[in-house]
Amino acid sequence: MVSISDSKTTHPFIELLRPEIAEMDLALPAASALLASYLATGSLPSILSFIIAVIGGYAAITSSYVYNDCCDVDIDSINLPNRPLPSAQLSKQKALNYAVFLAIVASTAALILNPESFVVLIAAVAIISIYSSLAKRSTFLSFVPVGISYGLVPVGIWLAFDPAGILKQPDYGSILPLPAVFLGFMMCFTDWGFTLSGVARDVEGDRARGAPTFPVTFGVPVTAKFVTFMWVVGVIASIAIGITAHLGPVYFTGAILAGLWMLSQSFNFIKNPTPERGGRLFLQGSRYRVIMFGSLIVDVLLMVLSISYASILW
């Protein structure tokens, strides 16, 4: 729940959305929607449903960013004084209204697609709000709700295209297939690594404001080792997604190569356990997930095209 740098855009409302990691926040719901639809129906989702899911997922993620900025104005005034709120480009009330608006967009999208997705969204919003408003100022385990909430994002998207059968299509079958479970699991663990690497960069501001984050409590060197372990588990989970979903070589090539690169960067963080290196790893983590999700998207599209081509030949 951190930003990698000071304000770069000319519009504060855009800057609140963390544009430097926007590709990751769009690729996650897109990949989740395509994979869920493909495994459930053997085809792609309708264009309208896909667009609604991507917009809804992006709005859900970015609403948490904006709310977090509202809760961290004092810390950001030290770490990132040029951010929209500490630099007074926007008032806290306007930012809160913006967060609510984004949450309404996400809720509307979820309700349109599947009420089960809406239930998951409410749970994710509640959990991430605990982090921003309470946990960060009270425990070094504050990163835990962040990972859980982001692990719920692909689950909510998945249910929009492959209902669990609790609130919709009651005879549908199992609640979640293994690929969906591993997708949520991968997001949860990699987000613990992703978030803590960014928090390591903000260690001085957190310490000055009395926030007992993991890097403040245990130091950046210990954080670097913990972050690396989280990425190891996350990369393994990404391979499990491909195996259980029977994905093709495009996905495995992208996931493995990107995973090895990400692990090399994480081990470099252990060798250079500085706040600045943690900040770079934060951004590198978003790039890893863009490549991994991008590979998944391409792989699913190719498989659907091959099925369509085979049906035409027959």
Query: pLDDT per residue over 95-150, tens digit each?
Result: 999 999 999 999 999 999 999 999 999 999 999 998 888 888 899 999 999 999 99
The answer to whether residue 4 sits within a structural domain is: no
- Residue 2 domain-assigned (yes or no): no
Number of domains in the chain: 1
* pLDDT for the residue numbered 306: 86
Q: Is 16 helix (H, G, I), strand (E, B) or coil?
A: coil
pLDDT digits (tens, 9 = 90+) for 52-77: 999 999 999 999 999 999 988 988 88
Residue 73 belongs to some domain of the structure:
yes
Q: Assign residue 143 the CATH number of its domain.
A: 1.10.357.140
Instruction: Give CA–CA dist 152/117, Å, rounded.
Output: 10
57 within a domain of the structure (yes/no): yes
Q: Is residue 289 part of a domain?
A: yes
Specify whether the CB–CB gap between 186 and 231 falls below 8 A.
no
Neighbouring CB atoms inside 10 A of 8's CB total 12
Is 239 part of any domain? yes
Residue 3 lies in a domain: no
Structure token digits, residue 22: 């926007």
Q: How many angstroms separate the Cα of 25 from the Cα of each of 60, 211, 255, 267?
A: 10, 27, 17, 25
Q: Is residue 35 part of a domain?
A: yes
Q: Are 133 and 101 in contact (CB under 8 A)?
A: no
pLDDT of 72:
86
Q: Domain range spanning residue 307?
A: 12-313
Predicted TM-score (pTM) of the model is: 0.90
* Dist. CA 160–CA 155, nearest whole Å: 9
pLDDT in tens, 170-225: 544 467 899 999 999 999 999 999 999 999 998 988 898 888 999 999 999 999 99
Mean pLDDT (whole number) for 41-60: 96
| Residues 81/87, Cβ–Cβ less than 8 Å | yes
Identity at 1, one-letter amino acid code: M
Residues 6+ apart with CB under 8 A from 94: none
CA distance 243 to 230: 20
Provide the 3-class DSSP secondary structure of residue 17: coil
